[in-house]
Structure 1
Amino acid sequence: MNPLDTPLGFSSNFLFVPGTRPERFAKALDSGADAVILDLEDAVPEDEKEHARSAIRAAWPQFTAEQKKRLVLRSNSPGTKFYVADLILAQELNIACLLIPKSESLDQINGAAQILPNTAIVPMIETAIGLDKLKELANSNQVLRLALGNIDLQADLGMVCDPQETELQVARYQIVLASRLAQIAPPIDGVTPSTDDIERIQADAQRAKRLGFGAKLCIHPKQVAPVKTAFMPSEEEVSWAKRVIEADQASKGGAIKLDGRMIDRPVVLLAQRTLAIAGKH
Structure 2
Amino acid sequence: MSVFLFVPGDNGKRIVKALNSEADTVIIDLEDGVIPNKKVLARNTIIDTLKENPRLFSDKKLWLRINPEHTPWHDEDLLLINQIPSLDGIMLPKCETAYNIRSIENRLSLDLEIVPLIETASGILHTQQLIDSSRWVKRVAFGSVDFAYDIGAEWTPSGIERRYAMSQIVVLSRAAEGEPPIDAVFPQIDDEESFKKDTLIGKQVGFFGKLVIHPKQAQWVNEIYSPSKEEIDWYRKVVEIYEESDDKGAVALDGKLIDLPVYLLARRYLETSK
TM-score normalised over the length of structure 2: 0.91
Contact 1:233 1:277 in 2 (8 A): no
The answer for the alignment partner of 1:215 in structure 2 is 209
Which contiguous aligned blocks of 4+ residues in structure 1 show a shift greater than 6 angstroms?
none
**Unaligned stretches of 5+ in structure 2?**
none
The answer for the alignment partner of 1:136 in structure 2 is 129
Answering whether residue 32 of structure 2 is matched by residue 36 of structure 1, we say no
In the alignment, which of 180, 192, 199 is matched to residue 205 of structure 1? 199
Displacement after TM superposition at 1:122 (Å): 0.9
Displacement after TM superposition at 1:101 (Å): 0.4
The answer for the alignment partner of 1:6 in structure 2 is none
CA–CA separation in structure 2 for the residues paired with 1:181 and 1:116: 29
CA–CA separation in structure 1 for the residues paired with 2:221 and 2:183: 11
Displacement after TM superposition at 1:144 (Å): 2.3
Matched letter for residue 102 of structure 1? K
Corresponding residue pairs, total:
268
Displacement after TM superposition at 1:140 (Å): 2.2
In the alignment, which of 136, 145, 151 is matched to residue 139 of structure 2? 145
The answer for the alignment partner of 1:21 in structure 2 is 11
The answer for the alignment partner of 1:125 in structure 2 is 118
CA–CA separation in structure 1 for the residues paired with 2:174 and 2:44: 38
SS at match of 1:243: helix
CA 1:26/1:66 → structure 2, altered by over 3 Å: closer, same or farther? closer
Answering whether residue 269 of structure 2 is matched by residue 274 of structure 1, we say yes
Displacement after TM superposition at 1:174 (Å): 0.6
SS at match of 2:72: coil
Further displaced range: 225-234 or 238-247 = 238-247
Answering whether residue 228 of structure 2 is matched by residue 227 of structure 1, we say no
Matched letter for residue 125 of structure 1? I
Matched letter for residue 162 of structure 1? T
CA–CA separation in structure 2 for the residues paired with 1:246 and 1:117: 39
The answer for the alignment partner of 2:190 in structure 1 is 196
Contact 2:101 2:133 in 1 (8 A): yes
**Unaligned stretches of 5+ in structure 1?**
1-10
TM-score normalised over the length of structure 1: 0.89
CA–CA separation in structure 1 for the residues paired with 2:39 and 2:48: 14
Answering whether residue 76 of structure 2 is matched by residue 85 of structure 1, we say yes
- Report the aligned-residue RMSD: 1.9
